[in-house]
Amino acid sequence: MMVVALMKRIYCVTGNKHKAGEIIEILREYGVEARHIDVDLTEIQSESLEEVASACAVEASNKVGEEVIVEDSGLFISSLNGFPGPYSSYVYKTLGCGGLLKLMNGVSGRKAVFRSVVAYCRQGGSPKTFVGEAYGEIAYEEKGTLWGFDPIFIPEGGGGQTYAEMSRGEKNRTSHRRKALENFAHWFLDR
C-alpha cells in the first residue's frame, strides 16, 4: 500500500499573479500547498512593511474565513535613504524602473536590499510576520523582462545578473521572498 503525505494548505492572497506563482512554487518545496486567491484589500500607508502586511493579512483572513498569508515587499536603496522602501509598488506604477534609474543618475553608491514580509493570520486571530532580505545593488540599466524592480536589482551571489535575467527557479533559490517564506514554512509546519 502506498502512503501519500498530505500537504498542509494555506491561502495566498494577492492580486499579483507573478508573486502568487513564486509563492506557490517555493512553499510546495516545504510541503505547503498555497492556493492563490485574489481579494480586494485595503493597503494602509505605513513606513513599516510589517504593519502593511499584517493589516492586509487580518483583513484577508476575515474576508476569506481561512488561514491566509499576504506578502509585501520593498526595495530599499541606501544612497536614496531607503527609498522607495514600503512605497515600492506605488513608485513602480508611477515611475517604473526607468524613472528610478533616472533618480540614480550620477549616483555611485548603488547598494540596496530587497525586503519581503510574509504575514500569516487566521480568521479572528492576530497576525504573525516573517522577514526575508536579499542584499545587492542597483544596475545602471534594465536587464531582463520580469516584473517589478527585478530588471534593475542585482543580488549578491547572482553572478552579476538581475533577478529578471534569472529563471524563476534561479531567483526563487536566493530571493528575499524565498527567505521570508522559508521562515514562515518552518513555523507553519512545526506549530
Question: Which of the four pLDDT bands, split at 50, 70 and 90, describes residue 6?
Answer: low
The cell for 66 is 481561512
* Residue of 180, 129, 174 whose CA lies nearest to 150: 174
Catalytic residue among 40, 72, 150, 190: 72
27 Cβ neighbours under 8 A, 6+ residues apart: 10, 12, 33, 34, 181, 185
pLDDT at 169: 87
pTM above 0.85, yes or no: yes
Contact 53, 118 (CB under 8 A): yes
Element (H, E) at 190: helix 176-190
Q: Is 38 one of the annotated active-site residues of the chain?
A: no
Q: Mind listing the pLDDT tens digit for each residue in 39-50?
A: 999 989 899 999
Domains detected in the chain: 8-190 (3.90.950.10)
Question: By the 8 A CB rule, do 89 and 71 touch?
Answer: no
Is the model's pLDDT at 114 over the cut of 80? Answer: yes
Q: What are the cell numbers at 126?
A: 492576530
